[in-house]
Structure 1
Amino acid sequence: MKKIYYLSTCNTCTRIINELELPEGFQLQDIKTEPITEQQIEEMRALTDSYENLFSKRARLYKELGLKEKSLSENDFKNYILEHYTFLKRPVILFNDQIFIGNSKKTVASAKTAIHAK
């Protein structure tokens, strides 16, 4: 699978997608206009340790809803991501059987290396 879940209004996501120099065949899904399905989040979860890894604790709603003070379960993380796109740590890059989550330099560099490996 070659797919990127991102937000088209996010400058960081746009910069990373340009930086990755994606080859043909990549599917881009703007999670604001095309929300994530339960099947899609389960596919992502299968490639990482937990739903928490996919969850953005930097989201404005995280603080507004007081989630920082709550003890969230794996199911809570999953449900919040499905409920509102802002809770997905972006971008999420799926390449073959690998997943790259977030926008850290190390993550982006690893994704670029994997995508362009010969």
Structure 2
Amino acid sequence: MRKIYYLATCSTCIRIIKELGITDSNFDMQDIKTQPITSDHLDEMKGLSGSYESLFSRRAMKYKSMGLASQQLSEQDYKRLIVEEYTFLKRPVFIVDNEIFVGNAKKIVDAVGQAIG
């Protein structure tokens, strides 16, 4: 399976998708704003990444506005927040076969490029 969870309005996501040559024909593409993440999708991602926290973005504007930085969040809190608010998913998320790549760091993008060969 080859899938990407991304945000169509995110210039970084779009740049990475173009850079890697990803299209609808070689990846199942899910814009998380128009096709919300389900609990099942998130469980699948967690199974590959090891935790919901690893999928959670602390850069989301709502992270500070909701006062989450001062709270002790559990794995279930991370899951609930990501399902309720798409901006909390660290993106893009690539699933290539049984590997997951989360985020936009150069080393992550390079690893995706190698995985899709």
> 1:8 is paired with a residue of what secondary structure?
coil
**Aligned pairs, how many?**
116
Quick one: which amino acid aligns to residue 63 of structure 2?
A: Y
Secondary structure of the residue that 1:68 maps to in structure 2?
A: helix
Render the CA deviation track for 1:33-91: whole Å, top value 9, x for unaligned: 00001110000000012100000000000000000000000000000000000000000
- In structure 2, the gaps of 5 or more residues are none
1:21 to 2:15 alignment: no
Deviations 1:78-112 (A, max 9, x none): 00000000000000000000000000000000001
Q: Using the alignment, how far apart are the partners of 2:67 and 2:22 within structure 1?
A: 38
Note the 1:62-73 alignment, pairs <5 A. Answer: 62-73=63-74
Q: Distance in 2 between matches of 1:65 and 1:22?
A: 34
Identity value in percent:
54
For 2:70 and 2:50, locate their aligned partners in 1 and report how far apart those are by CA, in whole Å.
Answer: 23
Partner of 1:99: 100
TM-score computed with the length of structure 2 as normaliser: 0.96
Task: Determine helix, strand or coil for the equivalent of 1:3.
Answer: strand
Query: One-letter code of the match for 1:40?
Result: H
Is there any run of 5+ residues in structure 1 with no aligned partner, and where?
Answer: none
Give matches, 1:21-40, under 5 Å. Answer: 21-22=21-22, 24-40=25-41
How far apart, CA to CA, are the structure 2 residues paired with 1:105 and 1:41? 24
Give the superposition deviation at 1:22.
Answer: 2.6
Task: Say what the alpha-carbon RMSD is for the aligned residues.
Answer: 0.9
Q: What CA distance in whole angstroms lies between the structure 2 residues aligned with 1:5 and 1:79?
A: 17
